[in-house]
């Protein structure tokens, strides 16, 4: 099988179609484009999500905290706890393991998230570190939450820049391929991108903006101004847009000309022949909203850069506009560009 996430067809046939029916306490569970499960806990809700770090190298502890917490934040919820599983290769040293734990502890503390459990072992089943994290957050009764799907007419917003995590991984794990080809200033800038990988701030901000419609969800929770949010992980901007549209059963058009990238990311992607639109981009949050002006204004007020890059449509066509202004069909996401680096 090919390296990377399963295709949507494989995920449906090999995994999702084989899962047991959900109980009454689980409002939503596993699904294509669904990063989090929503579970009723008394009058409140719990949101939970798991993610693996397979290409993070010695930065796996940092990345593991943020990728799962970002999923919770993409639900408009502040994460409160996390569990971490560390699988180390036989070549790892005790220092390697403690470094990953120290990273995870530092990042969790910065977010105000408790590390409440997990598992650590050395296994010859892996030849590099695999770190899996499961985060959760609690939604109190009366708190605004997203509708849970994008709607036709919604604007598509992205925060910060695309290709953040991919640029960081390339600079930190594959610097030898960049030295002499990408200026040292850009490399050092990309090495600082680990400080940008969290979307907890912007996710919490968007989740707190009460919808101007004053409507409530079927479960009685008031709606936020963000209909749907999705952190940009494997598959990059194009992959995230496709997943949001597919999950919402509507179409979307992404304008390549509007997607923001740093000059450092552009240089790194050009050097390594990576498609920046399909490169893992944790640190960027995609937001579907019928109230883009309110969302953009609030994010700007809180010091978060945000850009409108597309629109959701009432058909099921997933498209992108190229640099020459022509529209093309956007295929389902495949393996992330990061796996091309050898």
Mean pLDDT of 154-163: 98
Q: Could you give the angle at the alpha carbon of 276 between the alpha carbons of 160 and 235, nearest 5°?
A: 90
- For residue 224 the two structure tokens come to 């936020």
Residue 342 has pLDDT above 70, yes or no: no
- Distance, in Å, from the CA atom of 315 to the CA atom of 137, rounded to the nearest integer, reads 34
How much is the pTM? Answer: 0.85
Mean pLDDT of 214-229: 83
Q: What is the pLDDT of residues 81-117, one digit of tens each?
A: 999 999 999 999 999 999 999 999 999 999 999 999 9
Task: Give the CA distances from residue 165 to residues 4, 30, 316, 336, in Å, rounded to whole numbers and listed in that order.
Answer: 16, 25, 29, 12
- Locate tokens 């050395």: which residue? 122
Per-residue confidence (pLDDT) for residue 141, from 0 to 100: 86
Per-residue confidence (pLDDT) for residue 184, from 0 to 100: 96
Q: What is the pLDDT of residues 228-238, one digit of tens each?
A: 999 998 899 99
- For residue 192 the two structure tokens come to 């600082």
Q: Which residues of 267-286 are buried (b: 16+ CB within 10 A; e: fewer)?
A: bbbebbebebbbbbbbbbbb
Measure CA of the first residue to CA of the last residue in the chain; give whole Å. Answer: 18
Per-residue confidence (pLDDT) for residue 27, from 0 to 100: 85
Strand ordering across the sheet containing 81-88 = 26-28, 37-41, 44-53, 130-139, 81-88, 114-122
Residue 254 banded pLDDT, cuts 50, 70, 90? very high
Topology (CATH) of 155-340 = Phosphoribosyl-aminoimidazole Synthetase; Chain A, domain 2 (3.90.650)
- Distance, in Å, from the CA atom of 310 to the CA atom of 255, rounded to the nearest integer, reads 6
Is 244 within 8 Å of 252 (Cβ atoms)?
yes
- Contacts with 325 (C-beta within 8 Å, 6 or more apart), sequence order: 257
Is 298 within 8 Å of 226 (Cβ atoms)?
no
- Contacts with 183 (C-beta within 8 Å, 6 or more apart), sequence order: 267
Domain ranges for the chain, please list them: 8-139, 155-340
CATH number (3.30.428.10, 3.30.1330.10, 3.40.50.2300, 3.20.20.140) of 8-139 reads 3.30.1330.10
- For residue 167 the two structure tokens come to 């640029």
Q: Minimal CA–CA distance to 117: which of 90, 89, 136, 95?
A: 136
Instruction: Say how far residue 186 (Cα) sits from the centre of its chain.
Output: 24
Q: Could you give the angle at the alpha carbon of 177 between the alpha carbons of 174 and 181, nearest 5°?
A: 130
Q: Among 4-8, 181-185, 259-263, 306-310, where is mean pLDDT lowest?
A: 4-8
DSSP annotation of 93 reads -
Residue 242 has pLDDT above 70, yes or no: yes
Q: What's the farthest any 2 CA atoms get from each other in the chain?
A: 59
- For residue 234 the two structure tokens come to 């494997």
* Number of residues written out for the chain: 342
- Contacts with 182 (C-beta within 8 Å, 6 or more apart), sequence order: 264, 267, 268, 271
């Amino acid at each position: 099988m090919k390296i990377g996430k399963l295709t949507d067809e494989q995920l449906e046939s090999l995994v999702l179609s084989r899962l047991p029916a959900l109980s009454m306490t689980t409002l939503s569970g596993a699904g294509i484009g669904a990063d989090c499960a929503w579970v009723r806990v008394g009058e409140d809700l719990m949101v939970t999500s798991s993610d693996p770090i397979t290409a993070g190298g010695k930065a796996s502890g940092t990345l593991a905290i943020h990728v799962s917490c970002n999923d919770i934040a993409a639900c408009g919820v502040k994460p409160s706890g996390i569990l971490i599983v560390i699988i180390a290769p036989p070549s790892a040293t005790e220092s390697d393991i403690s470094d990953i734990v120290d990273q995870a502890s530092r990042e969790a503390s910065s977010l105000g998230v408790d590390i409440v459990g997990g598992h650590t072992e050395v296994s010859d089943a892996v030849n590099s570190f695999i770190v899996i994290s499961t985060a959760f957050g609690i939604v109190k009764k009366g708190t605004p939450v997203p509708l849970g799907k994008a709607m036709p007419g919604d604007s598509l917003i992205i925060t910060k820049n695309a290709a953040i995590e991919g640029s960081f991984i390339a600079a930190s794990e594959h610097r030898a391929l960049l030295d002499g080809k990408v200026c040292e200033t850009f490399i050092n800038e990309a090495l600082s991108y680990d400080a940008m990988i969290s979307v907890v701030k912007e996710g919490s901000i968007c989740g707190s903006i009460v919808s101007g419609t004053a409507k409530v969800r079927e479960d009685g929770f008031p709606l936020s101004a963000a209909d749907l949010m999705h952190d940009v992980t494997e598959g990059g901007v194009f992959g995230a847009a496709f997943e949001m549209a597919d999950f919402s059963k509507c179409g979307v058009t992404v304008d390549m000309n509007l997607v923001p990238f740093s000059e450092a990311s552009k240089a790194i992607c050009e050097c390594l022949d990576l498609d920046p639109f399909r490169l893992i981009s944790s640190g960027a949050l995609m937001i579907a909203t019928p109230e883009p002006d309110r969302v953009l204004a609030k994010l700007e007020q809180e010091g978060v850069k945000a850009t409108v890059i597309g629109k959701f449509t009432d058909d099921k066509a997933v498209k992108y506009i190229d640099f020459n202004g022509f529209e093309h069909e956007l295929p389902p996401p495949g393996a992330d560009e990061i796996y091309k680096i050898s």
